[in-house]
Structure 1
């Protein structure tokens, strides 16, 4: 090997040694991996909570409300361990956008502010035990609720000093959420949101129905006066 060739090889080796180490960041766009909800009753209840809160906060862009979506929270940032999928949860102070899942390490370390589990006979033990412990000790979620759509069992807990303390019910049997600034209560065998004044938070469908009824009433009144509404 000539001296020129040897120098070139030496320079190449030195350049290779000086290359910076490539840092591989864990993925943050993981797909949710939750099984279907136990029954149509559970699915409809979950969607009801999402629809009502989304309508109420339709002009806000600083929250994320969803249900049956995987939360990945592994300290090692691994998809294969440490994940849970609450039936309904709300994260405050975040961007309102569509997500495949909630990946804690890709969301500035944020966990849900509010979690609601829609329990059943087969899930009650886990929802009231293991999950409650995880939401208290790991997630540090300020408020945790559970609701049984068959028995109408409703309970709520507030994180105080690192421990969940039971919430007291109002005269109507409702539970106040400081995080949402709303009551959670049962009406017509469904878990619903209510304002501080006791007003029911409607779904978009309920809002449209009321608007339709008002329009029909107004049209009838105009016809009584001899005025054709659509003229």
Structure 2
């Protein structure tokens, strides 16, 4: 009796046989290196969310796991950038970024914060993963202690160094913003070179401007008051001169009212 011929499984059969892990997976990142790292990550997240507060088509977060393979081997198939931004994504809270649940999207921008224990990985293995697997267009690393800042842009599948401006700023094509160190922190700058501020920074700036305006108004009022005082003194001097003249006329037997 002949055996039935073996058939090659179709693409549909193979696809259906792959069991992807659930997409609702919690982040699995280690604690941050220091307060400097935590404060820097929080600052970057707050800045970009405030700058793009009228946009609903991006996701920005930090120290959150990116799951990008159903195999889920920790050392190979998921990474947790210190800060990343995904464009054309729904703006909502997530437990983690699960690539196969996000239409295959990877971060458009990644920033890693260097430390003694992570610098070699950030500059080596992670850079290769972000270049070859994530295909993340803009990658930066920053050392909160030494203030080392370096950036790369993906060109023809390879990271190319970004050349800093004369003021030391690096351009992110994806964010359409500059990155640079300002008062010991990594900050964003507009294409015109203005510092991207937090809401409290803007409020303080407005208060400062209002205070300066009030100070100018106060100075103008003081000048006006001095001018009025000078005018009043001049009028008083004129009155005194008129009184002296009138007295002299009366002494001379002349009625002042006949003259004035």
Q: 1:152 — aligned with what?
A: 147
Q: 1:180 — aligned with what?
A: 175
CA deviations 1:22-50 (Å, max 9, x no partner) are 99763111111111210000111111111
**Partner secondary structure for residue 35 of structure 1:** coil
* Structure label with greater radius of gyration: 2
Q: 1:196 — aligned with what?
A: 191
Q: 2:21 — aligned with what?
A: 26
Q: 2:55 — aligned with what?
A: 60
Q: 1:8 — aligned with what?
A: none
Task: Say if 2:103 is the partner of 1:122.
Answer: no
Q: Retained in 2: the 8 A contact 1:51–1:204?
A: no
Cα distance in 2 for partners of 1:22, 1:155 equals 44
Task: Say if 2:102 is the partner of 1:107.
Answer: yes
CA deviations 1:80-107 (Å, max 9, x no partner) are 6611100000000111111111000000
Q: 1:162 — aligned with what?
A: 157
**Partner secondary structure for residue 110 of structure 1:** coil
Task: Say if 2:91 is the partner of 1:96.
Answer: yes
Q: Retained in 1: the 8 A contact 2:72–2:78?
A: no
Cα distance in 2 for partners of 1:158, 1:220 equals 47
- Tell me the TM-score normalised to structure 1 length: 0.81
Q: Retained in 2: the 8 A contact 1:31–1:100?
A: yes
- Tell me the TM-score normalised to structure 2 length: 0.73
CA deviations 1:103-150 (Å, max 9, x no partner) are 000000000000000111221100000100110111010110000011
Provide closer, same or farther for how the CA distance between residues 150 and 32 of structure 1 changes in structure 2, counting only shifts above 3 A: same
Query: Displacement of 1:208 after TM fit?
Result: 2.2
Cα distance in 2 for partners of 1:79, 1:64 equals 25
Task: Give 5+ residue unaligned stretches, structure 2.
Answer: 1-15, 222-260
Query: Displacement of 1:176 after TM fit?
Result: 0.4
Q: 1:229 — aligned with what?
A: none
Q: 1:213 — aligned with what?
A: 208
1:32-43 correspondence to structure 2 within 5 Å: 32-43=27-38
Task: Give 5+ residue unaligned stretches, structure 1.
Answer: 1-20, 226-231
Q: Which has the higher contact order (CA 8 A, sep 6+)?
A: 1
- Total equivalences in the alignment: 205
Q: Retained in 2: the 8 A contact 1:89–1:112?
A: yes
